[in-house]
Structure 1
Amino acid sequence: MMPQDISKSPVCNLAAGEEIRGKWNHLIYRIHRRLGYGATGAVYLADSIKGTVALKIGHDQMSITSEVNVLKRFSKVQGKVLGPSLINVDDWQTRSGTYPFYAMEYLKGETLFDFMRPKSSEWAGILLVQLLTDLHTLHQAGWAFGDLKPDNLLVTGPPYRIRWIDVGGTTVMDRSIKEYTEFFDRGYWGKGSRKAEPSYDLFSAGMVMVNLAYPSRFTKKSDPDRQMQDVRKNSPMLRPYADILEKAWNGKYRYAEEMRNELVLLLNEKDKRSVQQNKKPAVQKSAVQKQTRQSQKKKQKSFFVETFLVFTFVFVVYLFYMLGQTM
């Protein structure tokens, strides 16, 4: 949950063209625009001697240090690209105080909403599979993502890949979630505690898909369980995934891998049905073509028979005529 006055913080109101100079490494970053902000600070698009970067400036040293440690930990997960790569860590000295910051890889891509707009609903399931795969890796490393929401995710590619762009809410397992957004928080919906554990992230992952179906979101009613049943039932996008989303809502999955495996099985079954449905018109078309060929053969056979009879009749008439001449 973000403090209400966070947007008034100096770190959230840097203007385009303003320069940030590192106190220790003396590297200069020229601000382009703000990409977003949260409870721990703001993220800016900036130029540097190392190219375009995403610059996270905070107002709390411990929070920024924690995020830096997470990014370092991500870089050590062999064979997995989880969050953006860490480039530099430093402090920004101003008249009003000293603000910690770090530069990280700038990931170019689309928001989930922009990506999904022209796509079929199957893509929501594919992206969720990717997200669950990464969450399983993160959980195995001893962390929960915490503030999991579309704002903190990006789709890069092609090949299309979901990526994390803000790890500000990442929390060590079994501790209290340090940052969350109500719509994706099971505590807000009365479905569990704010303890960092796999089921917390899996609840949020399910709500990310719900948010894709309902971009404007909605508030909690008196009976959240009934409310969410109606939400899943009334959405063509969510209906195929209703059982999986209900399990995530009720905390039935212990590990991200469980939810992922069920989702992969569901998508495979949908693919098989789609292939079978696509084959039916081909089978029907083949049958029609066969009937057409048979009909054409019958017509040809009928034509030859009729032609033969006509020639036979003419020949017989001619034969009788010649016989009459000889007599």
Structure 2
Amino acid sequence: MQCGDWVVGKWTGEPFQVERPLGTGANGEVYLVRTRRGLAAVKVCPNASDIALEWAVLERLHRVSGTFPKPMWIDDHGPSAFFYVMEWIPGTPLSQAAARLTGHAAAAVVRGIAEGLAELHAAGYAFCDLKPDNIVIAGDPPHVRFVDAGGVTPFGRSVRQFTPYYDRAFWGLGTRRAEPSYDVTALALVIVICLGGLAPPVSLTGQTPAQRQSWLRRGIRRWPEGVRPLLEQALAGRMDARQFAAAWCRQAAARPARPGPRVPTAPGHPTASRGRPAVAGASASVAAGRGPGAGRKRGRDWTEWLMWISLIGALTSTACAWLTSLGWLR
């Protein structure tokens, strides 16, 4: 599709105009389009079965979670242009926002990712391709959304799509089987690599799992001592998403977790600034970097409020679970 093209669905008759490309996935391309209902995103794929599968997953996920884009309609345009239209999520991918996040903001983002994964897992699915480019900081106030459902897989099946640096099998930490622990390990890798400011060298691909784990351990040691055991447990798959979210919030409330000095992202690394333009142009309010008005006295940062609200929510959920198990709540 070219910018300015008009497309009319074969079956629905719904028209849309292509505004610009947003990105390329493992099995298709995504475009920003203008429809009669406003701006939306279109996933186009030459394979009808891939589009039908992703559409079915999005519909199921929309009934249980608002983290992924809302599906709008599915159609085709010609023999090799199968597509579905979905909600467009304007925002900033974590790969671009990470360098600007303060300790409180980073903790709120981690909490949002973990909660989104927990909702997905409750529906019986694993994300599988969790990576910074698929995590978007969107909205006002900012919150976490997921994009690209192409890798979402029912529990028990083989992982269909993955990114090596965020794949536990690449590090020798487990199998490529869709299950909650696969995503929790990926979340820990996102924290260590992306939020930790690391740039895995290309030479890692030619090393053994033991050598890769040695490099990963050095990255973990850059984090405060109180955070390291939590990251190690998540990497080992010994926590579920909600447990990780609650533990991370407790740690962040005590002392915002931050690693040592950031390492510049290496050219060509998957989290380099030339990531997907799919969510460019979001508000920079998720960042706490010094801007033109940084010298003025400010009120309490929204991220600190969000952090405390998240902590209270986690403690309340835990208390209710214990009271229910003891039979005090019905």
Alignment of 1:228 with 2:216, yes or no, is yes
Q: 1:229 to 1:101 in 2, by over 3 A?
A: same
RMSD: 1.8
Contact 1:232 1:239 in 2 (8 A): no
- The CA deviation string for residues 238-290 of structure 1, in whole angstroms up to 9 with x for no partner, is 7663222221222222x21121121121112226xxxxxxxxxxxxxxxxxxx
Q: Determine the structure 2 residue equivalent to 1:251.
A: 237
TM-score, normalised relative to structure 1: 0.72
Q: 1:56 to 1:243 in 2, by over 3 A?
A: same
Alignment of 1:192 with 2:192, yes or no, is no
Counterpart residue type for residue 244 of structure 2: M
Contact 2:196 2:219 in 1 (8 A): no
TM-score, normalised relative to structure 2: 0.71
- Per the TM alignment, residue 124 of structure 1 is displaced from its structure 2 partner at its CA by 2.0
Instruction: Work out the CA distance in 2 between the residues paired with 1:215 and 1:85.
Output: 33
Q: Determine the structure 1 residue equivalent to 2:315.
A: none
Structure with more contact order per residue of length (Cα contacts < 8 Å, sep ≥ 6): 2
Alignment of 1:81 with 2:36, yes or no, is no
Q: How does 1:271-282 map to 2 (within 5 A)?
A: none
Instruction: Work out the CA distance in 2 between the residues paired with 1:126 and 1:179.
Output: 27
Alignment of 1:166 with 2:151, yes or no, is no
Among 105, 110, 113, the residue aligned to 2:95: 113
SS in 1 for 2:81: strand
Q: Runs of 5+ in structure 1 lacking a partner?
A: 1-13, 272-327
Counterpart residue type for residue 186 of structure 1: R
Q: How does 1:126-205 map to 2 (within 5 A)?
A: 126-205=108-187
- Per the TM alignment, residue 217 of structure 1 is displaced from its structure 2 partner at its CA by 3.7
- Per the TM alignment, residue 130 of structure 1 is displaced from its structure 2 partner at its CA by 0.9
Q: 1:212 to 1:15 in 2, by over 3 A?
A: farther
Q: Determine the structure 1 residue equivalent to 2:23.
A: 36
Q: Determine the structure 2 residue equivalent to 1:213.
A: 196
Q: Determine the structure 2 residue equivalent to 1:265.
A: 250
Counterpart residue type for residue 194 of structure 1: R
- The structure 1 segments of at least 4 consecutive aligned residues displaced by more than 4 Å after TM superposition are none
SS in 1 for 2:149: coil
Contact 1:40 1:64 in 2 (8 A): no
**Which protein shows a greater Rg?**
1
Higher helix content, 1 or 2:
1
Q: Runs of 5+ in structure 2 lacking a partner?
A: 257-330
Q: Determine the structure 1 residue equivalent to 2:58.
A: 71
Q: Determine the structure 1 residue equivalent to 2:273.
A: none
Contact 1:116 1:123 in 2 (8 A): no
Contact 1:112 1:153 in 2 (8 A): yes
How many pairs does the alignment contain?
250
Instruction: Work out the CA distance in 2 between the residues paired with 1:217 and 1:19.
Output: 42
Instruction: Work out the CA distance in 2 between the residues paired with 1:182 and 1:161.
Output: 26
Counterpart residue type for residue 218 of structure 2: D
Q: Determine the structure 1 residue equivalent to 2:305.
A: none
Instruction: Work out the CA distance in 2 between the residues paired with 1:188 and 1:226.
Output: 13
Q: Determine the structure 2 residue equivalent to 1:17.
A: 4
Counterpart residue type for residue 101 of structure 1: F
- Per the TM alignment, residue 164 of structure 1 is displaced from its structure 2 partner at its CA by 0.7
- Per the TM alignment, residue 115 of structure 1 is displaced from its structure 2 partner at its CA by 2.8
